Amino acid sequence: MRSIRVTLAKKGRAKYLSHLDMQRCMMRAVRRARIELWYTEGFNPHPYITFALPLPLGVESESEPVEIRLEGGATNEEVFQALSAVMPEGIEVVSVQDSTAKPNEIAFAQYHIVLQNAPALTDRLRAALASGELPAEKLGKAGHKKAMKQINCCELIGSVTVEETGETVEMNAVLAAGSQQNLSPLLLLEALSAKTGEELQCLSVVRKCLLKSDYSRF
């Protein structure tokens, strides 16, 4: 048994596939590609296929890592070719490599966000981000139960830039991500909309990559 990391790109209409849909899609693709998977032991054996960090619905991605455990002697190149031949429209295999890091090492995600421009929007967004206070409500845990909790989005931003590009405004943001802390780019936009008092017209959100705590690529 050995572990590999399959990196996927998810674009176009595929961005509307839920995390559960993606899991089913990956399972079907592996079966169609006739890749020999490693199964867990016990009463209900199942293959080990794990998405490192589920993607919010409606968000595209250029780098979605999926951890897979294999049996047999298939090389990474053979797995790459086999999966590439069976992936549906909108989902592309970017790379297949040996797993060298664990998903719990993920600390940030880098996003590219494009908004419809409006008069003085860039200045208002920059002022809101520089204020240090971007309150939002997020579902979290209260003991053993789930409950809504108030957060300050600014505390979960690693870095962010806002640039006006004619008819659009582009944001490049590094946001907390992973098992300890997580800030969805969609929640950030909701908080910015509330802070600026303007309904933001989002044209696209793309997750560029996942990062470790030292900002190196996962």
DSSP-assigned letter for residue 192: H
Neighbours of 171 (CB within 10 A): 22
Express each pLDDT in 30-39 by its tens digit: 999 999 999 8
Domain boundaries, the chain: 2-100, 105-212
* pLDDT above 90: residue 201: yes
pLDDT of the residue at 179: 82
pLDDT of the residue at 190: 96
> pLDDT band for position 72 (50/70/90)?
confident
The correct CATH number of 2-100 out of 3.30.360.10, 3.30.70.580, 3.40.50.10860, 3.40.50.970 is 3.30.70.580
Angle at 19 between CA 201 and CA 64, to 5 degrees: 80
Query: In sequence order, what DSSP letters do the residues of 122-151 get, joined into one string?
Result: HHHHHHHHHTS--EEEEEEEETTEEEEEEE
pLDDT of the residue at 142: 64
- Lowest mean pLDDT: which of 78-87, 141-150, 167-176, 201-210? 141-150
Express each pLDDT in 35-60 by its tens digit: 999 988 878 888 889 999 989 899 99
DSSP-assigned letter for residue 17: -
> What's the mean pLDDT in 17-31?
94
2-100 against 105-212: fold identical: no
Q: Which residues contact residue 70 at a Cβ distance below 8 angstroms, ignoring those fewer than 6 apart?
A: 1, 2, 3, 4, 35, 36, 37, 38, 79
Q: Which residues contact residue 181 at a Cβ distance below 8 angstroms, ignoring those fewer than 6 apart?
A: 156
**CATH level 3 topology of 105-212:** Pseudouridine synthase (3.30.2350)
Which stretches within the chain are classed as H helix?
19-32, 76-84, 121-130, 185-196
Q: 85, 108, 131: which is closest to 180 by C-alpha?
A: 108
Q: What tokens appear for 119 in the block? A: 């008069």
Q: Which residues contact residue 83 at a Cβ distance below 8 angstroms, ignoring those fewer than 6 apart?
A: 6, 29, 30, 33, 35, 93, 96
pTM: 0.91
Amino acid at 131: S
* pLDDT above 80: residue 146: no
